[in-house]
Amino acid sequence: MAKLEPLIIANSVQIIYKEGKHRFTAVEDVSFAVKPKEKFVIIGPSGCGKSSLLKAIAGFQPISSGELLMKGKKITSPGPDRMVVFQDFEQLLPWQTVRQNIVYALNITGKAASTANEEALHYLNLVGVSAAVDKYPHQLSGGMKQRVAIARALAVKPQILLMDEPFAALDALTRTQLQYEVNAIWQNTGVTIILITHSIQEAVYLGHQVLVMRPVPGTVKEIVDTTQIDDINSKEFANMAAHLRSLLGADSRSDTKSAKEVLFQE
């Protein structure tokens, strides 16, 4: 990948949750850089602070110390340059059709144009749900809902697509299809992607860089370059998956159940 200035820089980020007198350090001393058009994956046992980090990048969660920058500026609030897709299937507005959900997002982010309807159709087409434009969310399968959520995020033309385990609740076949489609979307749009997953296979397949976290508090175990590895049948892929598995498994003593869940969700 060409040498580019980072889009996101995390410099010794710390996130502390305060509840009354209690303070809980969820993320400690996390540093990384995400370049434009990169697919950056975060993996680690449950509770290691992945979602906390993603929320901080989205601008929902203030950091307690360190620096979190987008294009050199401190992230202080959410914005349409960073759209988020969550794991939850219920992120669409239930009283609006698929098309209306997207037009609505264009309206509230101030990106609506006279062509909003056509734009909505373009992005729905990109994620393969153009046949369902006039359906309501309750009429869609989980996979279709996630596709619409991705289309809605993309329609706003964010610089970064933030995805928090977007395929975790899908069946294996749909999940594999959506991983493939996310790669195609990335090729078509060049959007920078930051994706959280529990799946080692997903991390190696989708990621250019994989940030492996260890828990309590969440810190960086290693940042692994997986740019050259995308053939899932190659020896390199298997070796990389084994490397990530060993990085994650090494922490099983401190979070046995979660680490096991990570390993067996393959």
Ligand X SMILES: Nc1ncnc2c1ncn2[C@@H]1O[C@H](COP(=O)(O)OP(=O)(O)OP(=O)(O)O)[C@@H](O)[C@H]1O
Q: Which amino acid is at 266?
A: E
Nearest distance, CB of residue 231 and ligand X, angstroms: 28
Provide the sign of the torsion angle of the four alpha carbons 158, 211, 143, 85, taken in this order: negative
Collapse the DSSP code of 163 into the 3-class scheme (helix H, G, I; strand E, B; otherwise coil) and give the result: strand
Collapse the DSSP code of 212 into the 3-class scheme (helix H, G, I; strand E, B; otherwise coil) and give the result: strand
Query: How many angstroms separate the CA atoms of 86 and 109, rounded?
Result: 18
Nearest distance, CB of residue 75 and ligand X, angstroms: 16
Q: Of the candidates 27, 40, 41, 51, which one interacts with Mg ion according to CB under 5 A?
A: 51
Q: Name the one range near ligand X by CB under 6 A: 17-25, 71-79, 176-184, 233-241.
A: 17-25
Nearest distance, CB of residue 5 and ligand X, angstroms: 28
Beta-bridge partners for 13: 30
Interacting residues with ligand X between 46 and 105 (CB under 6 A)? 46-52
Nearest distance, CB of residue 1 and ligand X, angstroms: 27
Query: How many angstroms separate the CA atoms of 46 and 198, rounded?
Result: 8
Judged by CB under 6 A, the number of residues near ligand X is: 12
Is residue 199 close enough to count as binding ligand X by CB under 6 A? Answer: no
Is residue 100 close enough to count as binding Mg ion by CB under 5 A? Answer: no
Q: Of the candidates 24, 60, 95, 180, which one interacts with ligand X according to CB under 6 A?
A: 24
Collapse the DSSP code of 74 into the 3-class scheme (helix H, G, I; strand E, B; otherwise coil) and give the result: strand
Contacts with ligand X, 156-195, as mask; x by CB under 6 A: ----------------------------------------
Contact indicator for 160, 81 with CB cutoff of 8 Å? yes
Residue 135 CB partners (closer than 8 Å, separation 6+): 97, 98
Contact indicator for 48, 214 with CB cutoff of 8 Å? yes
Nearest distance, CB of residue 66 and ligand X, angstroms: 16
Picked from ligand X, Mg ion, none, the partner binding residue 48 (CB below 5 to 8 A depending on kind) is ligand X
Is residue 141 close enough to count as binding ligand X by CB under 6 A? Answer: no
Closer residue to ligand X, CB minimum distance, 70 or 259: 259
Angle at 149 (CA atoms; ends 202, 210), nearest 5 degrees: 25
Give CA separation, 162 vs 124, 192, 237, in Å: 18, 9, 24
Picked from ligand X, Mg ion, none, the partner binding residue 36 (CB below 5 to 8 A depending on kind) is none
As given in the structure block, the two tokens for residue 57 are 């990048």
Closer residue to ligand X, CB minimum distance, 156 or 163: 163
Query: How many angstroms separate the CA atoms of 95 and 19, rounded?
Result: 36
Closer residue to ligand X, CB minimum distance, 137 or 217: 217
Judged by CB under 5 A, the number of residues near Mg ion is: 2
Beta-bridge partners for 180: none
Residues that bind ligand X (CB under 6 A): 17, 19, 24, 26, 44, 46-52
Residues that bind Mg ion (CB under 5 A): 50-51
